[in-house]
């Protein structure tokens, strides 16, 4: 055997059992042998170190890509490029369509090069990680969310907005800083459980009124942030602020007629009022202060 990842064809017998020796020590749901030179592939089910023979299939790389979840296709294509470029090893995690349901799988393998340095074969394993992956993603998702409102927490909301701003597309956007008016009095007079319920309803209204592509988060006890992407014009921003204020005014109205919830909103427009997060936040926060000075229950766009 020559250097790692380079095995002359004459030294690699055609006996499949010998080819799979490099992966037999690894617990796998499925082994594969991709014959690049002849554009064919074989899948072999691993069963306690024994192998069930499978027939060679015609070039399956394109067909297999159709079984990969659309959001993970770039991962698969990256692995295929590693193979074709002769990278010694390759790996990746993606969702594969199995029995009409997408399941997470990890693919790991090794590429073999002929004496001229060209990749001609790849062998490896595919094994299921669906339960572990979903649990990991769940924990990761929970780490990004505020436990009470289920909105993005302060850290993740800021990161998402900063990432959007760093793209530098300069399509108009709007940062909303939203505050629950007189929330301390709500807690003091109605109790903390009622206060938590109010915040939960408040957050649901924000989620409903902003698009799924927008960014909505809780950045403090009774303070929220929303970033509205790709805004058509200033009128769209004003309409959104009016809709949010009106919806929030209906919280608890049917349940406790004498109780009123309202909000104050400060808005800064991107890129008109700034192109960086801190600058936009400071101006939106200043606009929020003006709203409160004017009697609360409304909104102010910075500079107006």
Task: Report pLDDT for 6.
Answer: 46
**Number of residues that make up the chain:** 304
- Backbone conformation region of residue 3, classed left if phi is above 0, alpha if psi is from -120 to 50, else beta: beta
As beta bridge partners, residue 216 has 226
Task: Report pLDDT for 136.
Answer: 82
Strand order in the sheet with 173-180: 215-218, 223-228, 173-180, 263-270, 298-301
Task: Report pLDDT for 20.
Answer: 41
Measure the CA dihedral 66/72/73/76, to 10°.
Answer: -100
Q: Which pairs count as long-range contacts for 36-42, CB under 8 Å and 24+ apart, including other chains?
A: 36/83, 36/84, 36/119, 36/120, 36/121, 36/122, 37/120, 37/121, 42/16
As beta bridge partners, residue 41 has 34, 57
Q: Sort strands 223-228 and 173-180 into parallel, antiparallel or unpaired.
A: antiparallel
Q: Which of 35, 181, 214, 222 is catalytic?
A: 222
Task: Report pLDDT for 3.
Answer: 40
Superfamily per CATH, domain 145-301? Reverse transcriptase/Diguanylate cyclase domain (3.30.70.270)
The pTM for the full model equals: 0.61
Distances (CA, A) of 60 to 37, 66, 246, 291: 13, 10, 56, 62
Task: Report pLDDT for 233.
Answer: 93
Residues contacting residue 66 through CB under 8 Å, at least 6 positions apart: none
CA 9/CA 52 separation, integer angstroms: 24
pLDDT tens track, the chain, 304 positions? 334 444 444 444 334 444 444 443 443 577 888 888 888 887 776 554 444 445 555 555 556 777 889 989 899 899 989 988 889 999 999 998 877 888 888 999 999 999 888 999 999 888 888 888 888 877 777 778 888 998 999 999 999 999 999 886 678 899 999 999 988 888 878 888 888 999 999 999 999 999 999 999 999 989 999 999 999 899 999 999 999 999 998 887 656 656 788 999 999 999 999 999 999 999 999 999 999 999 999 999 999 8
Distances (CA, A) of 140 to 19, 113, 213: 38, 39, 19
Task: Report pLDDT for 50.
Answer: 43
Domain with CATH 3.30.70.270 in the chain: 145-301
Task: Select from 210, 227, 218, 216 the least CA-distant residue to 270.
Answer: 227
Domain with CATH 3.30.450.20 in the chain: 9-135
222 classed as catalytic: yes
Helix (H) or strand (E) holding 48: none
Q: Indicate the burial class of 304 (C-beta count within 10 angstroms; 0-12, 13-18, 19 or more).
A: exposed
The highest-level CATH class for domain 9-135 is alpha beta
Buried b (16+ CB within 10 A) or exposed e, 267-276: bbbbebbbee
Task: Report pLDDT for 110.
Answer: 93
Residues contacting residue 130 through CB under 8 Å, at least 6 positions apart: 103, 104, 105
């Amino acid at each position: 055997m020559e250097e790692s990842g380079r095995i002359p064809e004459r030294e690699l017998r055609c006996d499949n059992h010998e080819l799979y020796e490099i992966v037999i020590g690894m617990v796998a749901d499925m082994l594969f042998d991709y014959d690049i030179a002849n554009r064919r592939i074989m899948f072999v089910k691993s069963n306690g170190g024994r192998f069930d023979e499978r027939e060679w299939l015609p070039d399956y790389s394109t067909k297999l890509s159709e079984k990969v979840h659309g959001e993970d296709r770039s991962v698969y294509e990256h692995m295929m490029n590693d193979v074709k470029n002769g990278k010694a090893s390759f790996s990746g995690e993606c969702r594969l369509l199995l029995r009409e349901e997408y399941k997470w799988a990890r693919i790991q393998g090794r590429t073999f090069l002929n004496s001229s340095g060209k990749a001609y074969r790849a062998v490896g394993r595919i094994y299921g990680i669906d339960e572990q992956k979903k649990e990991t993603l769940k924990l990761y998702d929970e780490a990004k969310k505020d436990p009470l409102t289920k909105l993005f927490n302060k850290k993740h909301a800021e990161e998402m907005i900063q990432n959007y701003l760093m793209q530098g597309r300069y399509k108009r956007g709007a940062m909303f800083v939203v505050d629950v008016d007189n929330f301390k009095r709500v807690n003091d007079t109605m109790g903390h459980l009622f206060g938590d319920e109010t915040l939960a309803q408040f957050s649901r209204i924000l989620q409903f009124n902003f698009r799924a592509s927008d960014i909505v988060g809780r950045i403090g006890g009774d303070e929220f942030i929303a970033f509205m992407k790709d805004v058509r014009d200033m009128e769209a921003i004003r309409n959104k602020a009016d809709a949010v204020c009106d919806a929030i005014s209906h919280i608890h109205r049917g349940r406790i007629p004498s109780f009123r919830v309202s909000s104050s909103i400060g808005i800064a427009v991107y890129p008109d009022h700034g192109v960086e997060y801190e600058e936009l936040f400071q101006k939106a926060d200043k606009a929020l202060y003006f709203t409160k000075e004017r009697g609360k229950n409304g909104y102010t766009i910075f500079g107006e």
